């Protein structure tokens, strides 16, 4: 019996469109994350890793959709192929199944390193642009996630012992935002 065709799609934010990834490929099941790829702690990635079985074939649009750094990329591919899951990166036209040639492993490493380098360059350019804009007085930074009134309420609820995850859901923000407010003086 052959396994299932599984798709993994990732975009960095909820506003981004996922349709171009794996376009035209028919999957038995697709897992989609709308979250940054800087960490492998992504809900749908973790669910996909629990779901796939020996004989399954995982399709991913490109390497940078699976991982943003070479260490995570190699680890994920290695873990999947050891479990008998074939991994295809559609854009790069690379398939890994555990019996990979030295050339395939080299290509994974080189292309993964290039993607990681590219991301670092983008971050450097972004930081440089922000620094220049701040010096000109143009850049004011990101708007606060919570208003002053909401921040006060959050602080009060934290002091009262309300779980931070519950507050994040209530105020429609990340848990990290709630933690940021909990670290402020007066809590």
Is 12 considered catalytic here?
yes
Report d(CA 87, CA 95) in Å as an integer: 6
Dihedral, 58, 101, 94, 5 alpha carbons, nearest 10: -20
Q: Which of 12, 62, 104, 182 is catalytic?
A: 12
Take residue 60 and report the two structure tokens written for it: 């991913």
Tell me the catalytic residues: 12
């Amino acid at each position: 019996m052959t396994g299932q065709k599984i798709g993994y799609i990732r975009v960095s934010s909820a506003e981004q469109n996922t349709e171009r990834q794996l376009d035209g490929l028919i999957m038995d099941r697709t897992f989609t994350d709308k979250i940054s790829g800087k960490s492998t702690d992504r809900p749908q990635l973790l669910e996909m890793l629990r779901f796939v079985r020996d004989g399954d074939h995982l399709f991913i649009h490109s390497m940078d959709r699976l991982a943003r750094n070479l260490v995570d990329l190699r680890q994920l591919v290695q873990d999947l192929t050891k479990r008998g899951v074939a991994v295809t990166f559609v854009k790069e036209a690379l398939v890994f199944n555990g019996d990979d040639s030295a050339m395939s492993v080299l290509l994974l490493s080189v292309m993964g390193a290039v993607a990681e380098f590219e991301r670092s360059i983008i971050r450097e350019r972004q930081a440089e642009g922000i620094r220049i804009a701040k010096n000109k007085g143009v850049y004011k930074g990101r708007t606060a996630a919570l208003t002053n009134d909401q921040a006060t309420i959050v602080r009060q609820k934290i002091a009262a012992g309300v779980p931070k995850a519950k507050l994040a859901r209530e105020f429609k923000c990340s848990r990290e935002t709630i933690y940021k407010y909990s670290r402020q003086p007066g809590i």
